[in-house]
Amino acid sequence: MKKEEKNVQTLSLPLFVTNRSGKRKWITMNNYRNWHYQENNNIKRWFKGDVANDLNFVIKGAVRIEYFYFAPDKRTRDLMNVVSVIDKYFQDAMVELGCIEADDLSIVKEVSCMYMGIDREQPRLDVMITKL
């Protein structure tokens, strides 16, 4: 395996988006499967708009993506229920904004996620992208 370069990007991703009427839409697999395709597309666009300012990097070649989940409360959750849809939206946004070349296996070689505990003040999903 190639030596890792010191090109690491760390961002904080939202767990929900707020639509024009001010209503929060939590981005989870349970909600995703029930959304109409137009609502899903709108939420994906809002998510991309929320993270676009932080996506000011370009990484050429293979990457590893690591997610660190900080829950809003002590309710029991399925980690992948939270991470899976945000991962999809985030990788699509990185490709559309030119941060990575593609979101397929030729570029994204590894994806992992870890539960980091509760942060009632700022629930979030931190992400670290490392060039391999």
| Tens-digit pLDDT profile for residues 104-121 | 999 999 999 999 999 999
Quick one: pLDDT band at residue 5, thresholds 50, 70, 90?
Answer: very low
Torsion angle, alpha carbons of 47, 50, 52, 57, to 10 = -100
52: number of Cβ within 10 Å: 12
CA 43 to CA 39: how far, in whole Å? 6
Domain boundaries, the chain: 8-131
What would the pLDDT profile of 62-76 be if each residue is shown by its tens digit? Answer: 999 999 999 999 998
What's 23's DSSP letter? Answer: -
Q: What is the CA radius of gyration of the chain?
A: 15
CATH class in words for 8-131: alpha beta
